[in-house]
Structure 1
Amino acid sequence: MQKIAAIFDGLRFSESTLHYSIWIAKQQRAHLTGVFSDDPTYNSFNLYQLLKAGTDQATIRQFEVEDHGKREAAAGRFEAACQAAGIAYSVHRNRNVSLLSALEESIYADMLVVDAHETFVHDVAKPPTRFIRDLLTDVQCPVLIVPPQVLTPAVFGDIRNIVLLYDGEPTSVYAIKMYNYLLPSWQTLSTTVLSVNPEGNLLENKHLIKDFVRWHFPRAAYKVMEGEPEEEIVSYMLGQQEGTAIVLGAYRRSSISRWFRESMADVLMQTLPFPLFIAHNK
């Protein structure tokens, strides 16, 4: 049995994370852990602004009590949904910093599921958020980044089409391997291997990748394009139907190189409403 960990912000509960994680756990007959970090440094209110405005301690305490109630309700929502789905589950709650909690869980999980908009701070941010960037940089297992509720189709988890990004590098092959190992029930879905080469319309290590893919995705199609990957991949994906998920390796470059060039995962999170399965070997 696999173990999937779903990362939740108890103060801004993600219905998207809930539905995708339960849908996958049910398909794979996996154990689902709901991870709720009751981070004492994070509140739904801006403590600095309240203190600056002279808010009394009794009012601040009331806000803290309300936040506690929200976190309790979120954990209860997760448990009720798992029970209704008939899946094996557990709830992990601690008072650690949210990022550290998620990274620790990733050591002992086969896969994480998290909303692309998660921040675990008072302010709202566009993806990729600082939390997601830091998580992907140091995570110890594959991650499924899911779009928020407002961008997902009415039926959550209705994934029918898979695009495997391949650039000839080991990290892209590793991501395909991990996807195949962790989500075997998706092998029958419509699958396309997409490769973009700036130096020409060429598929790197053509015979090796085709030999590997045919044993796992025998009906996979290939799309090979010439141009800049960040531009051509986004252009291609914008033409894809709802229910598409993307598999890619990411964050293999050093932190210094990321100052000058965004990760492909960053670009896709900014522009596309599709789930991203991300795995990178270190």
Structure 2
Amino acid sequence: MKKIILAFDGANFSEGAFNFARKLNQMSPILLTGVFLPQIDYAALWSYSAVASAGAFIPLLEEDDAATIEQNIERFKSLCQSNGIEYRVHKEFVDFALPGLKNETRFTDLLILGSESFYLNIGINEPNNYLKDAIHHAECPVLVVPEQFEFPEKNILAYDGSESSVYAIKQFAYLFPEFKDNKTVLLYAGEKEEDSFPDEQNIEELVSRHFTDLTLFKLGVDPKKYFASWSSEKKGSILVSGAYGRSSFSMMFKKSFVSDVIRDHKLPVFIANR
């Protein structure tokens, strides 16, 4: 049984994130911990814009909207009970939300976040800083889920030959053996047209042990240009991505096709930091 955290900010309840957890429980029972984070003081954000962009923590309201949080907690409990999900509720964060959430992720297998609802007022046009920081600081793999999605019947494994991309693929395989029979694409984007898969024999031997229907596919040399149109035909898929090193995570997140997928709410995205 996996322990999974489903994190909500105080004002928003992600139906998409909960529905993904519900489907996982149907495949194999889970322990689902609902973490309800305080709301942010949006009015004070202007004075914190510089430090926030540097990854600092954003101030919270002195008094949370307790009624809204309690309403979401009761909704979470009711949905868990009606779907036969074993659950816990945590909401004991009184200072800053992210340090508390980071500590919670140390003791869990997977963190699920709603890509469209997690502190959505901070950023609309791209994954907001708070969402990016939550992924960056998590001490377990993170699954970012749009509100509308088709539950995965296909796996897209992003591979660039790096240690972190292989680590993410292994973590995904270990956490989701239920997805082993999905059609699986090992996706590589080389810098040059003639580039071949790095360590092709080794990666094929590894991945084919975990996924029964595997295809190796080389994308065009510009992932941002080609992936959007390619992925639009891949509904019912989940994208698996490494963080490409914690130190360079923010740069990768802003510029990579992974950020585009999250921003456009196209597919669920599994991210594993090391």
Q: Distance in 1 between matches of 2:144 and 2:105?
A: 14
TM-score normalised to structure 1 length: 0.82
TM-score normalised to structure 2 length: 0.84
Q: Which has the larger radius of gyration?
A: 1
- 1:134 paired residue number: 133
How many residues matched? 256
Contact 2:168 2:271 in 1 (8 A): yes
Within 5 Å, which residues of 2 pair with 1:8-27? Answer: 8-27=8-27
Distance change >3 Å, CA 237–CA 121, structure 1 → 2: closer
**Shift in Å, 1:171:** 0.8
Identity %: 29
Is 1:105–2:104 an aligned residue pair? yes
Distance change >3 Å, CA 201–CA 238, structure 1 → 2: farther
Between 116-125 and 264-273, the greater mean CA deviation after superposition: 116-125
AA paired with 1:89? Y
**Cα deviation 1:189-209 (Å, max 9, x = unaligned):** 111111111222411111101
Q: Distance in 1 between matches of 2:74 and 2:185?
A: 39
Distance change >3 Å, CA 16–CA 103, structure 1 → 2: same
AA paired with 1:212? L
**Shift in Å, 1:224:** 1.4
- 5+ residue gaps, structure 2, are 46-62
Contact 2:8 2:118 in 1 (8 A): no
**Cα deviation 1:99-144 (Å, max 9, x = unaligned):** 2222121111100000113453755533311111111222111000
Q: Distance in 1 between matches of 2:253 and 2:241?
A: 20
Is 1:233–2:227 an aligned residue pair? yes
Between 200-209 and 70-79, the greater mean CA deviation after superposition: 200-209
- 5+ residue gaps, structure 1, are 49-63
Which secondary structure does the structure 1 equivalent of 2:91 belong to?
A: strand
Is 1:220–2:219 an aligned residue pair? no
Between 264-273 and 23-32, the greater mean CA deviation after superposition: 264-273
Q: Distance in 1 between matches of 2:129 and 2:253?
A: 17
**Cα deviation 1:37-59 (Å, max 9, x = unaligned):** 235xx36x8589xxxxxxxxxxx
Within 5 Å, which residues of 2 pair with 1:41-120? Answer: 42=40, 46=43, 67-94=65-92, 95-120=94-119
**Cα deviation 1:199-249 (Å, max 9, x = unaligned):** 224111111011111211132112113412332333321222x22111111
Q: Distance in 2 between matches of 1:198 and 1:223?
A: 15
- 2:143 paired residue number: 144
Contact 1:188 1:217 in 2 (8 A): yes
